[in-house]
Amino acid sequence: MILGNARPNGHITPCEQCPLRRLPCLREFTPQELEFIKRFKIDELRVEPGASFLHEGSRSEHLYTVLEGWAFRYKTLDDGRRQILNFALPADMVGLQGAVMEEMEHSVEALTPLTLCVLPRRRLYELYSQYPTLAFDITWLAAREEQMLEQHLVSIGRRSALERVAFVLLHIYGRARELGLARDNIVAFPLTQQHLADALGLSLVHTNKTLKRLIATKAIRWQGRQFELLNEEMLSSIAGTEAPASKNRPFI
């Protein structure tokens, strides 16, 4: 684990030119909201793959929105066992828990080179008191995170290894697709099988064998950082769920 390997990005993307705003799955802002967000964002941060920028047990002065790249939120036990809680993709907010409550109860690590918008927690109250629609959006984001955790919990608690693998892959693929990261049903996946195993509560070995089994069904392909969805219906039926698809999602 690399620590603290984060630095200012050199330049800051102005919010009105934010590439995420063009995505059809994200909601539009009013000019006033946009103006506030632009002031709310005080910096832009660059994090290298493998570096953690938020730490379990610490109190952070900032919260972040992923502008570009992939990350994951995780917790570790004393003896080193690790559980990945969820993945963070562009437009996802990260570190809200630490901003609202006493301290973070999980860590966040970059999977790819990561660009983050930096938002100071001390000005969160300003947002709540002056921009109730944005405050509502933040609650919405928290509720969505909760929803994803719940789905994940059912998966780990009650599904077989094959169902679990199918479920995460479909879930991640669906989220990437929404963000326009898929081309010809192919997404560049920055995950290793170890990440998958830690997300699913399985061992690396068993994850590998299960993954092979899933690939043998021809529902998916996954080679060299490229994930390809071959048969969405089949994958959905193995996973026991549909790929996520949201509209007018807020982000900040």
Partner DNA sequence: CGCTTCTTTGAGCCTCATCAAAGGGCGTGG
Partner DNA sequence: CCACGCCCTTTGATGAGGCTCAAAGAAGCG
Residues of this chain that interact with DNA (CB under 7 A) are 160-162, 192-194, 201-212, 224-225
Which one of a second copy, DNA, none is in contact with 12 (Cβ closer than 5 to 8 A by kind)? none
What are the distances in angstroms from CA 121 to CA 36, 41, 62, 64, 98?
14, 11, 5, 10, 9
Where in 49-78 is the site for a second copy (CB under 8 A)? Answer: 75, 77-78
Which one of DNA, a second copy, none is in contact with 161 (Cβ closer than 5 to 8 A by kind)? DNA
Given a contact cutoff of 8 angstroms between Cβ atoms, the answer to whether 213 and 207 are in contact is no
Where in 167-206 is the site for a second copy (CB under 8 A)? Answer: 200-201
What are the distances in angstroms from CA 210 to CA 52, 146, 206, 234, 241?
29, 27, 6, 16, 18
List all residues 6 or more positions away from 123 whose beta carbon is below 8 Å from its beta carbon. 40
Smallest separation, CB 186 to a second copy (Å): 29
Return the residue of 17, 129, 223, 233 that touches a second copy, per CB under 8 A: 129
What are the distances in angstroms from CA 97 to CA 62, 178, 236?
11, 25, 32
Nearest to 111 by CA among 62, 165, 74: 74
Residues in the chain: 252
Identity of the amino acid at 5? N
When asked if residue 217 is in the footprint of a second copy (CB under 8 A), the reply is: no
- Contact pattern from residue 86 through residue 125 relative to a second copy, giving x for each residue in contact according to CB under 8 A and a dash for the rest: ----------xx--xx---xx-----------------xx
Which CB sits closer to DNA, 186 or 204? Answer: 204
Which CB sits closer to DNA, 118 or 202? Answer: 202
When asked if residue 143 is in the footprint of a second copy (CB under 8 A), the reply is: yes
When asked if residue 154 is in the footprint of a second copy (CB under 8 A), the reply is: yes
When asked if residue 136 is in the footprint of a second copy (CB under 8 A), the reply is: yes
d(CA 132, CA 30): 13
Sign of CA dihedral 225, 230, 233, 239: negative
Binding site for a second copy (CB under 8 A): 75, 77-78, 81-83, 85, 96-97, 100-101, 105-106, 124-125, 128-129, 132-133, 135-136, 138-140, 142-147, 149-154, 156-159, 200-201, 240
